[in-house]
């Protein structure tokens, strides 16, 4: 199943959980269950936007975007993070109203059953999506999966909290639980926004990917060939590496180009989706970079 197919499934599950959680809130009148339903609305909006961005990211390079559209996925996680902030504020507002005017919780059994069913659906989908995200290195899919996991733990907390309200009769616990839900998803929202911004700033590839690159280069390093100024970056699912490859000045251009081709093919085999840019230099020539900061 492709990344886009998982996101389409996420949209369908989000609609189903909204119906179930809204029904749970309508039956019980619990503001904490209302907060859980509001978070599911964020899931729906986030999944729809993620699907749009993944579709855009898959588009081939064009004249205006010669390096492709891979960074579009980072906008998805940032958008979902902002939606989480909005949902958290709405939850806190609703909880404040209920704290000032407590109301009893009704039809707890059926309401909690609906909440548990929706949580099970989210948990199963999130687990499958996270595995697929790691396989394809999809930021949008990972963000949606992690938000679903947050939703699952939120629902677990809400269910336990409502049980506590029923057992103790403390109606003030209901809005307090809702506020705790809001604080928890605020934390997740902040994490998503930060990771999105970090990705847009051309973050280096993951340590395991860098290790694979170095291991591959070691296969070509010997007295006549060396590599330096190896730099990496990632953009959505795509990985990039730039480097200088030094060779004997007496080598012909054809021989040097053949070796460079072998290095490029080995790198792409070791790291699927990697794009390598290799500049050829004579062994006795060094390329120097200005280490000073660019003027503002």
Looking at the structure, do residues 173 and 224 belong to the same domain, yes or no?
no
Of 165, 185, 200, the domain-final residue:
200
189: containing domain = 3-200
Of 167, 200, 233, the domain-final residue:
200
> Which string of DSSP letters, residue by residue, matches the chain?
--HHHHHHHHHHHHHHHHHHHHHHHHHH--HHHHHHHHHHHHHHHHHHHHHHHHHHHTSPP-SS-TT-STTHHHHHHHHHHHHHHHHHHHHHHHHHHHHHS------HHHHHHHHHHHHHHHHHHHHHHHHHHHHHT-HHHHHHHHHHHHHHHHHHHHHHHHHHHHHH--TTHHHHHHHHHHHHHHHHHHHHHHHHHHHHT-PPPPHHHHHHHHHHHHTT-BTTBEEEEEEEEEETTEEEEEEEEEE-TTS-HHHHHHHHHHHHHHHHHHSTTEEEEEEEEETT-------SPPP-
For residue 266, the model assigns a pLDDT of: 93
* CATH number of the structural domain spanning residue 270: 3.30.70.1350
Looking at the structure, do residues 48 and 31 belong to the same domain, yes or no?
yes
Residue 295 lies in a domain: no
The pLDDT tens digits for 23-62 are: 888 888 877 777 777 777 777 877 787 778 778 877 888 7
Looking at the structure, do residues 48 and 150 belong to the same domain, yes or no?
yes
User: pLDDT at residue 287 above 70?
Assistant: no
Q: Could you tell me the pTM of the whole model?
A: 0.59
Looking at the structure, do residues 152 and 276 belong to the same domain, yes or no?
no
Q: Select from 114, 96, 113 the least CA-distant residue to 40.
A: 114
Looking at the structure, do residues 175 and 213 belong to the same domain, yes or no?
no
Looking at the structure, do residues 195 and 263 belong to the same domain, yes or no?
no
Looking at the structure, do residues 176 and 240 belong to the same domain, yes or no?
no
Average pLDDT over residues 15-28: 85
Looking at the structure, do residues 38 and 156 belong to the same domain, yes or no?
yes
Q: Which neighbouring-strand residues pair with 226?
A: 246
Looking at the structure, do residues 96 and 243 belong to the same domain, yes or no?
no
Average pLDDT over residues 122-127: 85
Report the alpha-carbon distance of residue 173 to residue 271 in Å, rounded. Answer: 51
Q: Select from 86, 45, 80 the least CA-distant residue to 196.
A: 80
Pairing of strands 274-282, 238-247: parallel
Looking at the structure, do residues 151 and 228 belong to the same domain, yes or no?
no
Looking at the structure, do residues 256 and 171 belong to the same domain, yes or no?
no
The pLDDT tens digits for 149-207 are: 777 877 777 777 778 777 887 877 777 877 887 787 787 777 777 777 777 777 888 88
Residue 291 lies in a domain: no
User: Domains in the chain: how many in total?
Assistant: 2
* CATH number of the structural domain spanning residue 82: 1.20.1510.10
């Amino acid at each position: 199943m492709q990344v886009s197919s998982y996101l389409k499934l996420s949209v369908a599950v989000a609609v189903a959980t909204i119906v179930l959680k809204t029904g749970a809130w309508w039956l019980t009148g619990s503001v904490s269950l209302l907060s859980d339903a509001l978070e599911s609305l964020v899931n729906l909006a986030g999944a729809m936007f993620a699907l749009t961005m993944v579709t855009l990211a898959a588009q081939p390079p064009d004249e205006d975007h010669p390096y492709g559209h891979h960074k579009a996925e980072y906008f998805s996680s940032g958008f979902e993070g902002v939606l989480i902030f909005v949902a958290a504020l709405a939850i806190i507002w609703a909880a404040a109203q209920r704290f000032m005017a407590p109301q009893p919780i009704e039809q707890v059994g059926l309401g909690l059953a609906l909440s548990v069913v929706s949580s099970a659906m989210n948990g199963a989908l999130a687990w499958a999506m996270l595995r697929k995200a790691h396989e394809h290195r999809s930021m949008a899919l990972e963000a949606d999966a992690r938000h679903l996991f947050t939703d699952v733990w939120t629902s677990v907390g809400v269910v336990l909290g409502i049980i506590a309200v029923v057992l103790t009769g403390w109606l003030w616990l209901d809005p307090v639980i809702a506020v705790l839900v809001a604080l928890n998803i605020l934390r997740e929202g902040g994490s998503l926004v930060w990771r999105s911004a970090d990705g847009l700033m051309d973050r280096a590839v993951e340590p395991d990917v860098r290790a694979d690159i170095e291991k591959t280069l070691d296969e070509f390093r010997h007295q006549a060939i060396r590599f330096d100024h190896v730099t990496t970056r990632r953009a959505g699912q795509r990985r990039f590496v730039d480097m200088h490859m030094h060779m004997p000045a007496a080598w012909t251009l054809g021989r040097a180009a053949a070796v460079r081709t072998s290095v490029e093919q080995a790198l792409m085999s070791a790291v699927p989706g990697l794009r390598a840019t290799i500049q050829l230099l004579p062994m006795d020539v060094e390329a120097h970079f200005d280490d000073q900061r660019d003027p503002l």
